[in-house]
C-alpha cells in the first residue's frame, strides 16, 4: 500500500462490543453502557496501529498493561492517571510496554488518540 490513509472524525466507524478482544470484553460492555466508544484508525497500514477513544466524565479504566509501548495524545478533555498525573487537552504521554497504569476521566469527558507499532494485548491486574 503506497497511498495515504485518511480518516475523517465526522465519519468514523465506531467499534461495537463484538469487535473487542476477549481480554477487554467486560470493560467494553461497561463502555457501551456509558456511551464510551473507540474507532480504529489504522490496523497495521504503513506500520501503525492507532485508534481514537471517547469516554464520558468519571469513566474508569482499571489498572492494566499492554505488551506494546504506546503514544497517547489528549485531543479534548482530561484524564487522571493512577500515579497522580493529570493529562489535559494537548498533552502527550509515551507509555512503555508492560507499564501498569489506569485512569479516571475528568469532569468534561475525554477524547484521545493512541498510536502503537503493533496490535497490543491488554492484561488487567485485578487490583
For the stretch 30-73, pLDDT in tens is 777 888 999 999 999 999 999 999 999 999 999 999 999 999 99
The pairing of beta strand 60-66 with beta strand 101-116: antiparallel
**Measuring CA to CA, how many Å separate 110 from each of 26, 68, 75, 83?**
20, 22, 8, 18
Q: Where are the alpha helices (DSSP H) in the chain?
A: 25-34
**Domains assigned to the chain:** 14-119 (2.60.120.10)
For the stretch 63-104, pLDDT in tens is 999 999 999 999 999 999 999 999 999 999 999 999 999 999
**What is the pTM assigned to this prediction?**
0.86
Amino acid at each position: 500500500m503506497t497511498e495515504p490513509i485518511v480518516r475523517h472524525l465526522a465519519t468514523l466507524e465506531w467499534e461495537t462490543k463484538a469487535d473487542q478482544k476477549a481480554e477487554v470484553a467486560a470493560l467494553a460492555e461497561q463502555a457501551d453502557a456509558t456511551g464510551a466508544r473507540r474507532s480504529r484508525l489504522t490496523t497495521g497500514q504503513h506500520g501503525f496501529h492507532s485508534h481514537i477513544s471517547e469516554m464520558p466524565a468519571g469513566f474508569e479504566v482499571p489498572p492494566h498493561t499492554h505488551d506494546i509501548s504506546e503514544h497517547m495524545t489528549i485531543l479534548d478533555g482530561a484524564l487522571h492517571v493512577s500515579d497522580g498525573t493529570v493529562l489535559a487537552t494537548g498533552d502527550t504521554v509515551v507509555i512503555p510496554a508492560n507499564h501498569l497504569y489506569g485512569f479516571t476521566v475528568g469532569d468534561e469527558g475525554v477524547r484521545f488518540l493512541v498510536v502503537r507499532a503493533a496490535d497490543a494485548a491488554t492484561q488487567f491486574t485485578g487490583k
